[in-house]
Structure 1
Amino acid sequence: MSAISDRKAREELERESRHVDEDSLESLLARQKKVEEKVQSSGRLNRFSTDIRLMFSLLRDFWNGRYRQVPWKTIAAIAGALLYVLNPLDLIPDMILGFGLLDDAGVVALCLKLVESDLHRYAAWKELHAETAGK
């Protein structure tokens, strides 16, 4: 059984995603290191560390105009999930030892499920772009 239901994770993700705009996206990109530190220090979130780095890479390439082949709803969902991770007073407050990051992991997992195909396309584009940049 998951820590929070898919329905509750979806509600939280949708709530956070609704508030994403250019200012919050810029602020989130500036706090990338803080999110990555939180992920690395948490067993519950650490398994998502590679995915979260890819999510930040997509957001940064979108922000800088290098990659725009992604719908805004994907950008908003990714940013919403990462902003949720940053919020210490979310559904289950982070200071509750052993349980505080279960909801964060549930929201990130749901987000990954929802944007999986867009992330795969971006990863392929990024790999191709890296290969052609090296030539």
Structure 2
Amino acid sequence: MVLQKLRYLGKALALFKVFKTYSLTDKDIADADNLVEHLSDRKAEFKLILAMANDSIKGRYKIGRLNLGIIVATVVYVISPLDAIPDILPALGWADDVAIIGYALGRLKSELIKYRKWIALRPTT
């Protein structure tokens, strides 16, 4: 039991090091978008987070550092092979990803409302 907790702590520390210095790329967003099929009822919301991240990267939408950090951590966690529950386990492997995405959606609720309004007011070209 103690060994298992230490192993998870090691994984968490490794992920934290990645999160601290990581900048999202277009490829990361594309990779996360490819994995969205496993999310069932969270697909549309996660795609909205990815669109917001993409617009932020491109400089079209301004987002606070904390919210951007939540998005980066969520996307990196979803695409990272270092998971609490490995994604190779059918259904169960995505449970931790869905939980992380649910947490991010809860924390980003007001930002997502602002982003939806921004999209609605943005001129289409």
Task: State the TM-score, normalized to the length of structure 1.
Answer: 0.72
* Equivalent position to 1:58, from 52, 62, 82: 52
> Are the counterparts in 1 of residues 19 and 72 from structure 2 also a CA contact under 8 Å?
no
Q: Which residue of 1 aligns with 2:113?
A: 120
> Are the counterparts in 2 of residues 88 and 95 from structure 1 also a CA contact under 8 Å?
no
CA distance in 1: counterparts of 2:120 and 2:47, whole angstroms: 15
Identity, % of aligned positions: 24
Residue 90 in 1 paired to residue 83 in 2? yes
Structure with the greater relative contact order (CA < 8 A, sep ≥ 6): 1 or 2?
1
AA matched with 2:32: V
Structure 1's unaligned 5+ residue stretches are: 1-11
CA distance in 2: counterparts of 1:67 and 1:103, whole angstroms: 29
Structure 2's unaligned 5+ residue stretches are: 1-11
RMSD: 2.2
AA matched with 2:19: H
Residue 133 in 1 paired to residue 124 in 2? yes
Q: Which residue of 2 aligns with 1:19?
A: 19
Higher helix share: 2
> Are the counterparts in 2 of residues 20 and 79 from structure 1 also a CA contact under 8 Å?
no
> In 2 relative to 1, CA 125–53 (structure 1 residues): closer, same or farther, beyond 3 Å?
same
